[in-house]
Amino acid sequence: MDKGSRQTTTKESAVRRNTGARGATRKVVREPILTRNIPTPSSAVLKNIAGWMLFSLLVVSAYFAIQYLLPVLNQPIEQVDVKGNLNYVSQREVQKRLEPYLADKFLEVNLVAINDELKNMPWVEHAEVRRVWPNKIEILIKEQLPVARWGQEFLLNTDGQTFAAPNIEAYQHLPQLFGPLRATKTVMNQYHSLSQMLRPLGFEIASLEMREQGSWIITTKQELKILLGRDHLVEKMRRFSTVFNKALKQDVAKIKQIDLRYSNGVAVQWHDEQALLSQARTIR
C-alpha cells in the first residue's frame, strides 16, 4: 500500500471515531411533567349537599301541595255550635255578635277576636273557641254564677270577682257586700264564714260591710245589726252565740243592734226607743 492510500484510510478511521464518539456522548433530557393534586369532597360534605337538596325538594313539594289543598281546606263557615249550661246567655245573641267574624273562611277566621268579643258579653266568665273541620266553629261558654251583690252596681261570682249585669235590681234576694274594691275576695270569704256561724241561731246575712279601717258590720234579714270591730271575729261570734242562747233568744224581735266590740260582754240596743230612751243594755 502506498503512502497516499494509508493517509486516506487514516482520515476515514478518524472520521468514524469522531462520529462514533459524538453519538455515544449525546443524551436526551426530558423535563418532568408537573401534576396538580385535585381535592376530592369528603363523605360528610356529600351528605350535607344531599340533605339540603332533599330539604329543598320537600319544601317545594309542600308548597305545591298546599296550593292544591288550600281551596279544599279553606271553606266558608257553615255552622256555629254554642255549648255550655246557659241560663243567662242567649245563643241568638252569641250568633249576632259573631256575624262580622263569620264572613271569613275556615282558616282565616280570627279565633282570638271572637274570644275577646264573647268575654265582653254580660254573664260570660270564660269562653273557648276552636275550629272543627271542615266548616264549623265550636264555642264553649262558662257563665258567671252570682252569689252576692257588690255595692249598688256589681255582682260577685263564686271566685269573689265583680262583674256587671243588666237589670241588677232583679237580684235583690242576694246578700249585699261592701268594702274596698281590692278586698272583694276577703269580704266574700268572711261572708261564708260568718254565715255558717249565724245560721244555727236562725239568722241570715242580708249585708256585710268591711270599712276602710277594717271593722265589720253585719245586717241580718231579720233587721238585726251586729257590730264586730276589727279583730278576733270568731271569738266574738262565739261569745254572741252563748249570750244569745242564754239571754236574748226570747226577745230577738225587740233587738235593734248588738255591739260585740267589747272584750268581755255585748251591748244591746232595743227597738223600743221611747221605753228605754235609746240606752244600750250591757249583758255580761
3-state secondary structure of 257: strand
The span from the CA of 259 to the CA of 166, in Å, is: 37
Q: CA-CA-CA-CA torsion for 200, 201, 204, 209, nearest 10 degrees?
A: -110
pLDDT at 19 over 90: no
User: In this predicted structure, what is the pLDDT of residue 274?
Assistant: 47
Rounded mean pLDDT, 36-55? 73
Q: How far is CA 8 from the centre of its chain?
A: 126
Domains of the chain with CATH codes: 81-143 (3.10.20.310), 148-283 (3.40.50.11690)
Residue scoring higher pLDDT (55 or 201):
201
Could you give the C-alpha distances from 238 to 18, 79, 198, in angstroms and in order?
Answer: 148, 59, 10
CB 148 within 8 A of CB 175: yes
Among residues 225, 208, 227, the alpha carbon closest in space to that of 271 is found at 225
CB 205 within 8 A of CB 191: yes
- What beta strand segments (E) does 144-247 contain? 148-150, 154-156, 162-163, 176-178, 205-210, 216-220, 225-229
Mean of the per-residue pLDDT values of the chain = 83
**CB-count burial class (<10 Å; 0-12, 13-18, 19+) for 231:** exposed
User: In this predicted structure, what is the pLDDT of residue 75?
Assistant: 85
How many helices (DSSP H) and strands (DSSP E) are in the chain?
Answer: 7, 13
Which pTM value belongs to this model?
0.67
User: In this predicted structure, what is the pLDDT of residue 64?
Assistant: 60
User: In this predicted structure, what is the pLDDT of residue 278?
Assistant: 45
pLDDT tens for 90-140 read 988 998 999 999 888 888 999 999 999 999 998 999 999 999 988 999 999
The span from the CA of 240 to the CA of 284, in Å, is: 11
User: In this predicted structure, what is the pLDDT of residue 283?
Assistant: 53
pLDDT at 38 over 90: no
Residue scoring higher pLDDT (46 or 160):
160
φ/ψ of residue 138, rounded to 5: -110, 135
**CB-count burial class (<10 Å; 0-12, 13-18, 19+) for 19:** exposed
- The terminus-to-terminus CA distance of the chain in angstroms comes to 183
Neighbours of 18 (CB within 10 A): 10
User: In this predicted structure, what is the pLDDT of residue 279?
Assistant: 46
